[in-house]
Amino acid sequence: MLDALEGTERPPSVSELADAIGVDQPRASRLVQAAVEAGHARREVDPVDARRSAIVLTAAGRKLLADARGTRRDAVVTALAEFTPEERAELARLLSRFVAAWPRD
């Protein structure tokens, strides 16, 4: 959810966030509430439409994302340490093919 928040041009509503992460609106609302309580996101009034609540990533949320990405990056480096350059190239080719074939709605 935090990745989806960071990847938006403007802060999304709960419904827009639900669509972005592929869950229903009640589940997205619970996820947002948990993120707000943890200090990783906050609700703001949309400056364009005051009836709309926008969900904004906080500095703490950005730090959590950066830390998680660092952890994932380190895990990939460790996992690939014993791969030969040819094996890494083949993995990259196959992953690219996999991503290209991934269904998008």
pLDDT by residue (tens digit) across 2-48? 999 998 888 999 999 999 999 999 999 999 999 999 999 999 998 78
Three-state DSSP string of 27-81? HHHHHHHHHHHHCCEEEEECCCCCCCEEEEECHHHHHHHHHHHHHHHHHHHHHHC
pLDDT by residue (tens digit) across 71-101? 999 999 999 999 999 999 999 999 999 999 9
- In terms of Cα–Cα distance, which of 28, 1, 34 is closest to 14? 28
Pair of tokens at residue 47? 């400056």
Cα 59 from Cα 46, distance rounded (Å): 19
The confidence score (pLDDT) of residue 105 equals 66
Pair of tokens at residue 78? 């460790």
